[in-house]
Amino acid sequence: MSETPDTGTEAPQSAAARLFDLRIMIGGLFVLYGIMLTVAGLFTSSANLAKASNININLWLGIAMLILGVLFLLWWRLRPLQRPQPDQPEPPGPGAAR
């Protein structure tokens, strides 16, 4: 059982709201493109490396994109979206007009 009392005022977050988090799409695309660039960087020919001053830019950018994508996905998992709680109206005081 949960230790916090259930007041019945919290609405469950819908699956559609959780799926439409941009961090998932951004992180997923960075991971996908990072994998593609890393694989391309691993199989770069020496002629292509010579054109790029012996810097394997595909490999380095692929690794950087993988790291960035994983950070976005970790951010999404560790800090999920939360629906803002509406402010509770204050009960009228003794001098309130009807």
Average pLDDT (44-66) is 93
Please give the single-letter amino acid code of residue 97.
A
Interval 16-54: pLDDT, tens: 666 678 899 999 999 999 999 999 999 999 999 999 899
Between 6-10, 21-25, 28-32, 79-83, the lowest mean confidence (pLDDT) is in 6-10
Contacts for 56 with CB less than 8 Å, ≥ 6 apart: 41, 44, 49
CA 84/CA 27 separation, integer angstroms: 24
Give yes or no for residue 60 having a pLDDT over 60. yes
Per the prediction, the chain carries an average pLDDT of 82
- Residue 32 has what pLDDT? 97
